[in-house]
Structure 1
């Protein structure tokens, strides 16, 4: 028996990497499909999807409807208003790259939904390849493959099979991080604009480039920094910043309202804040949310911001001092810190919080570092449990604003 297991292990090791990752990815997608089928069977008339829900309903559910609306009708030139005269939810919150990529692929398959599924599915596999390439020189090939396993089967794995822009953005992000780590800056001039119009987050990448440049400057004696690289980093940081604000400018020009994009984003936040939201203030969302959730849980709302500060300090300590996290390298830690700071500045944490943590997926490399088989299998088991605990309430039961993926 041991001889057979050893033979299988050797054959697996000799299998081309792309094929091994394909096997991992397809196995993970099969598990997710089973979870979706079970969730569909448990869907009730009170669910958003109804008692007769099917897989295509899940592919086209929630935010996928907005991307479909963008692909079919574009963006409104006049912002819709609520009965109280406030800006209502509208398509300006959803960027165009995924919507129109799905439309182009859907033209081949005859339906936008199939196009959206194909884009998410294929981008997810390519993102797995890119993640392995990003991590293997830092944590080793074996740990990098396990990181891919956790990524492909993780709690948010449903995103690989629905009409959301997440997996396409992750593919672009991993490629951009890899290009930065390998000092292949020219590629970023192509990747940054596409990322910027796929989903929000490029401003975090601008901050990351700034920190990356500072680290390279202070380490220029042991890691020589050529003049052309300085020009590249500065120019790319400027490009990321400009494209990060470009969508707001475009929305303002088309609608004639300079605050159209921010007003649109805040339209979703009004569901959570009693009395509404007057305007966007950086970092205010997390303070409001901590007070909201603590009050909702029957805890003193004043304690929310204190716990939030302690949580931020804990994350910062982990990124700075954890041996496992340090194993993934300075650049990936800088990206993680930049993205966390970006979320703190612009986001209001609610049911979509976990989905918005997906750009931190390079941290799976830190989770995969311990070589214990039982550790890795235990993490995988927790990933699958977490996946079901995400799919069941969001798809089988989802019917309110706090059950949005």
Structure 2
């Protein structure tokens, strides 16, 4: 009886246009996230960084959103602020301008910067779901692609679609760019790369990805011809992404007169974690220090952290190379995932806010969705919702200790 009732509904659902189905999924996920945020607000106390009884507006404008708002209202400092010890203090140069000023421009129409920021995050999140489905549907099938959208829109980091962070916009630009590379339609990338590069850090990973795509295409040119026109595009776009990736450092140095203004600003946040601070930037040093720091916090020898880091890197590399579900995504998306993970490993210090930096790995939801068992997919969805609640609970509901930073 139940099957007879469900079958017409399933058929009706399948006949709906894909954008409408994705809109239903996305809106349902946003309702769930809103309820979870309200639950977190109800448990917040005076000990929380948000205080007792915060509203959704407080969450939406918390943490990095405050920095984006400050940049939009005050611009970037021409003189770097300093701590009592003379080190560069946290400042706006750590936050790229596109999201900040786009939210301000839209906020002039909607009435406030926060309204503009929320609108951009929500709309960009929906468009990112459309882009993810388009990117994956020809690789893993329409059903798995739709489930990828479900996991993405309701996943552990889904609250980022409803706060004043740049992640939604960046991921939208990224997914569109990955799709353009896959379809070998390079023209729009000359516009998208600069916009993406000034939305949030990560464009250097895209430069590496383009380089690896070029190498892969060259090695496979006997089976997949590589015309001279495409070589020119890949080289030019890789060079553009590299220039854009370093241009913010040059701009910060030019405006402030401090050669390492941007790196010193980024390291200002790392000093909150490492005793004595960080004397300078060295690639991969952040994760090495972080592994030792966290294992020390857990009462274990620091070298255990280094061993765990090596095992993690080896395990992820093996999964990208050999896991059947990941291989189904195609070599290009595996190269993007490897490029971005290598970028994170090279430049970031692992801590709680690093979790949200995993959002650009959204194409990997396709690998999660490949198995076709309905119970498996429902179990994954349940795990996504649980993880989303835990992230919101600890980062927003409690938010009272050093590792609870969204």
Would you say 1:112 and 2:113 are equivalent positions? yes
Residue of structure 2 equivalent to 1:56:
57
- The alpha-carbon deviation at position 252 of structure 1 amounts to 0.4
Note the alpha carbon deviations across 1:185-234, whole angstroms, 9 max, x for none: 11111110000000000000000000000111111111111101000000
Residue of structure 1 equivalent to 2:17:
16
Would you say 1:194 and 2:195 are equivalent positions? yes
Q: Deviation above 3 Å: which 4+ runs of structure 1?
A: none
Note the alpha carbon deviations across 1:326-364, whole angstroms, 9 max, x for none: 000000000000001001100000011210111111000
Residue of structure 2 equivalent to 1:165:
166
Q: 3-state DSSP class of the match of 2:296?
A: helix
Note the alpha carbon deviations across 1:120-166, whole angstroms, 9 max, x for none: 00000000000000000100000000000000000000000000000
In structure 2, C-alpha distance between the alignment counterparts of 1:299 and 1:139, rounded to whole Å: 42
Residue of structure 2 equivalent to 1:4:
5
Q: Mapping of 1:119-268 within 5 angstroms?
A: 119-268=120-269
In structure 1, C-alpha distance between the alignment counterparts of 2:188 and 2:112, rounded to whole Å: 32
Residue of structure 2 equivalent to 1:35:
36
Note the alpha carbon deviations across 1:284-343, whole angstroms, 9 max, x for none: 000100000001001111111111011100000000000000000000000000001001
Q: 3-state DSSP class of the match of 2:187?
A: helix
- The alpha-carbon deviation at position 49 of structure 1 amounts to 1.1
Q: 3-state DSSP class of the match of 1:186?
A: coil
In structure 2, C-alpha distance between the alignment counterparts of 1:63 and 1:48, rounded to whole Å: 14
Residue of structure 1 equivalent to 2:346:
345
Residue of structure 1 equivalent to 2:332:
331
Q: 3-state DSSP class of the match of 2:77?
A: coil
In structure 2, C-alpha distance between the alignment counterparts of 1:158 and 1:375, rounded to whole Å: 24
In structure 1, C-alpha distance between the alignment counterparts of 2:207 and 2:347, rounded to whole Å: 15
Unpaired segments ≥5 residues, structure 1? none
Residue of structure 2 equivalent to 1:301:
302
In structure 1, C-alpha distance between the alignment counterparts of 2:164 and 2:8, rounded to whole Å: 40
TM-score by length of 2: 0.99
Note the alpha carbon deviations across 1:23-56, whole angstroms, 9 max, x for none: 0000000000000111111110111111120000
Q: 3-state DSSP class of the match of 1:150?
A: helix
Unpaired segments ≥5 residues, structure 2? none
Q: 3-state DSSP class of the match of 2:78?
A: coil
In structure 1, C-alpha distance between the alignment counterparts of 2:370 and 2:91, rounded to whole Å: 43
- The alpha-carbon deviation at position 87 of structure 1 amounts to 0.3
User: Cα RMSD (Å) of the superposition?
Assistant: 0.6
